[in-house]
Amino acid sequence: MKKLLVTMLLVAATATSAHAGLKVIGRGDAMRLDPSSFPPAMKANYEIVRVKCVKCHTLERTIVAIQTGVAPISGQPFDRNATKAYGIKMLRKPDSNMNKAEVKASVDLMNYLLSESEK
Amino acid sequence: MFLKKHTSAVMFFLGVSLAPLLVPGHADAIPAFSRQHKTECSTCHTIYPELNEFGDAFLKNGYVWPHKKGEAAKGAEPVGNEWAAISGLPQQIPISLTASADLAYDEDAADGNKVDLSARSITLQAGGSFRDLVGFFATYNLYSQGMQRASTLSTPAANTNVPPGNTPDLDELFIVWRQAAGTPINVKVGRFEPKLSLWKKSNRILPVPSYASTTYRVGFSPFSSDATEDGVELNALLGNRLFVAAGVVDRNGQDREDGYGHISYKIGGTDLKGQEPEVDLEHDSIWDFLSVTLGGFGYWGQNGELDGDGISRNRNNFRRIGAEADILYKRLHLKGSGSFGRDSNPDFSLFAASVDSRAYTLEGEYYLGAPVSLVPLFRYEYLNAGYGSVKRLTPGLAYAPLQNLRLSLEYTHSIAPEGTGNIAFASIAFSL
């Protein structure tokens, strides 16, 4: 019983310290963020990401990159430089249908999420 | 549920069963890369097999994800994949298949058969890298029938150094020693399309027909700039935007090797290492979306008519000089290509008569992206290979309902000294 309690506490402590600010809902392709605790501006940004980004890829890809700090496909660090680079990539992608304001909102959100995940 | 659980098996079964109805078109766009890197086709392609800017960087990087070189050596391979890192093996069998079928309508068909649905093919492709040190690529024509059949038509593939008694079904097979010995130089060895043009012949939205400026032949000479050949090429990315290549080609019946060179420079856009340009998200600039790539090439070679002993007779010395431009702005993509040539004896005649040639291609594409993956395009071609000028006007449409499935429709109006001609061409192709 004591071992079980210690194990549970360790697991809980690890999970909390890793991504304290990110509330993730669902798994795999259905993975989403719970934006209820986001500031209003970030809630609006999240709506853009939720609608625009999933036209080409799942939100899981973005969430995993933020949680791990590593872009899942390229294996490169996913930091603030990377968020802007990915934003520019999506801006210039002919079929992304994203304008500069939407890309900026997405980059701001990812930077915010990176900050939250570091807490 | 069954479909979900057995998607691969079902796709394979469908591919094999539908193959007799389809025609080919080999490409660099191969799902093996998609599987290897666990990413979608659109990472590297607009409508496959045309490469986008990142795909071009991937190609120039020897089929290794840009910026990745060296990481494996530093132990960056995820736990559980150590066996692959140590042995240098790809984690998945790097093989893909492309199948295609064509329907052609030729109002001037010589045999009166105006509608032809008999062209189809399957091509096997392999591509990947060994521990990011060596890239490899191969295309093998498993089956082809109809107008694209290499063994019955004098295709560019027939120009390669094919051993006697073999058909030129092995179209490409080469390895690239990336950044050899710590230098920026990549060493490519095998059978490949010499780096002359900005675009590989297989990396276009409409691969058939190829551009007149790079695929034309003169007289009986089988040479064309985009034919695959056996050779050794050194290429290098200097800085982030200058690409240079030079190589030699070996062919039967030569008393010296062919030689060629290429240089290209990209202004704006994603650089040749796959890095996005610096864009101010607060202010607009034309360079946010504009990229211009300029290229030039030269090829000097020799061929002849092989006699029964395999000795080249009545030799033809030839050269090609070309200049090209690729302009991308948002959804608009413009390509221009011009080539000039001279052949000393293209008819392999006892009495040599030189021929000057020139050809131009201009193509404009417009990407109607999500939600409709449709690309209307228009191509203009001019060719004078010593027998009068030929002009071709080709409007076309390509549509990709899925990223690995392409439907295309094109119509070509030709104006030649002997008259005009009209051909409509529909094609369906898929890769798996």
Per-residue pLDDT, A20:
52
Per-residue pLDDT, B267:
97
Say if B51 falls within a structural domain.
yes
Q: Which residue in B42, B281, B282 is closest to A56 by CB distance?
A: B42
Render each residue's pLDDT in chain A as its tens digit; 119 residues: 566 555 554 444 444 344 556 788 888 888 888 888 889 999 899 999 888 888 888 888 899 898 888 888 888 889 988 999 999 999 998 878 889 999 999 999 999 999 888 77
**B281 vs A100: CB contact, 8 Å cut-off?**
yes
Say if B335 falls within a structural domain.
yes
Q: How far is B86 from chain A (nearest CA, A)?
A: 18
Per-residue pLDDT, B85:
73
pLDDT beyond 70 at B143: yes
Say if B303 falls within a structural domain.
yes
B234 falls in which pLDDT band (50, 70, 90)? very high
B334 falls in which pLDDT band (50, 70, 90)? very high
Task: Decide if B273 contacts B57 (C-beta within 8 A).
Answer: yes
Q: Would you call A40 an interface residue with chain B, using a CB distance cutoff of 8 Å?
A: no
Mutate to test the interface with A, among B240, B276, B365 (most CBs of A within 10 A): B276
Q: Which residue in A56, A75, A100 is closest to B71 by CB distance?
A: A75
B168 falls in which pLDDT band (50, 70, 90)? low
pLDDT beyond 60 at B429: yes
Say if B352 falls within a structural domain.
yes
* Partners of B73 in beta bridges: none
Say if B8 falls within a structural domain.
no
Mean pLDDT lowest among B156-160, B280-284, B313-317: B156-160
Q: Which residue in A73, A97, A104 is closest to B281 by CB distance?
A: A104
Sign of CA dihedral A108, A112, A113, A118: positive
Q: Which residue in B39, B270, B289 is closest to A73 by CB distance?
A: B39
Annotate B40-95 with DSSP letters as a single string: -GGGTBSSTTSB-HHHHHHHHTTSS-TT-TTTTTTT-SPTT-HHHHHHT--SS--E
pLDDT digits (tens, 9 = 90+) for B88-133: 777 778 899 988 888 888 887 777 888 888 778 888 999 998 888 8
Q: How many Cα atoms occupy the beta-carbon half-sphere of B334 within 13 Å?
A: 9
Q: How far is B370 from chain A (nearest CA, A)?
A: 5
Size of interface A-B (CB pairs under 8 A): 64
Tell me which chain B residue has its CA closest to the CA of residue A89: B276
C-alpha B369/C-alpha B348 separation (Å) is 49
B207 falls in which pLDDT band (50, 70, 90)? confident
| Token code pair at residue A107 | 């980059």
Say if B298 falls within a structural domain.
yes
pLDDT digits (tens, 9 = 90+) for B35-75: 888 888 888 998 888 999 999 999 999 998 887 644 444 44
Say if B390 falls within a structural domain.
no
Mean pLDDT lowest among A2-16, B72-86, B310-324, B375-389: A2-16
Domain span at B296 = 28-99+121-141+155-357
pLDDT beyond 90 at B150: no
Q: Are strands B405-416 and B389-402 parallel, antiparallel or unpaired?
A: antiparallel
**B67 vs A76: CB contact, 8 Å cut-off?**
yes
Mean pLDDT of B348-359: 92
**B276 vs A92: CB contact, 8 Å cut-off?**
yes
pTM for the whole thing? 0.83
pLDDT beyond 90 at B361: yes
Per-residue pLDDT, B40:
86
Per-residue pLDDT, B198:
96
Mean pLDDT highest for which of B114-123, B139-148, B216-225, B252-261? Answer: B216-225
Number of independent structural domains in chain B: 1
Angle in degrees, 0-180, between the axes of helices A100-118 and A59-68, rounded to the nearest 10:
40
- Residues A80-111 as b/e (b if ≥16 CB within 10 A, e otherwise) read eebbbbbbbbbbbbbbbebebebbbbbbbbbb
Q: How far is B398 from chain A (nearest CA, A)?
A: 15
| Token code pair at residue B202 | 């297989």
Q: Running DSSP on this structure, what letter comes out for residue B162?
A: P
pLDDT beyond 80 at B17: no
Task: Decide if B365 contacts B205 (C-beta within 8 A).
Answer: yes
pLDDT digits (tens, 9 = 90+) for B208-218: 788 999 999 99
Q: Distance of CA B223 to CAs B84, B162, B341, Å?
A: 41, 14, 11
Q: Would you call A97 an interface residue with chain B, using a CB distance cutoff of 8 Å?
A: yes
Q: What dihedral angle (degrees, nearest 10) is formed by the CA atoms of B77, A79, B276, B67?
A: -20
Name the residue among B100, B96, B16 with its Cα closest to residue B408.
B100
Helix %, strand %, coil % of chain B (to 5)? 15, 45, 40
Q: Which of B47 and B16 is assigned the larger pLDDT? A: B47
B377: left (phi over 0), alpha (psi -120 to 50) or beta: beta
ipTM: 0.76
Per-residue pLDDT, B90:
77
Annotate A79-95 with DSSP letters as a single string: SHHHHHHHHHHHHHSTT
Identity (one letter) of the amino acid at B173? L
Q: Are strands B170-177 and B115-130 parallel, antiparallel or unpaired?
A: unpaired
Percent of chain B with pLDDT over 70: 84
Task: Decide if B50 contacts B59 (C-beta within 8 A).
Answer: no
pLDDT beyond 70 at B152: no
Mean pLDDT of B169-187: 92
Contacts with B68 from chain A: Cβ below 8 Å:
74-75
Q: Which residue in B67, B282, B370 is closest to A95 by CB distance?
A: B370
What does the mean pLDDT of chain B come to?
A: 83
pLDDT beyond 70 at B147: no
Say if B363 falls within a structural domain.
no
Per-residue pLDDT, B22:
32
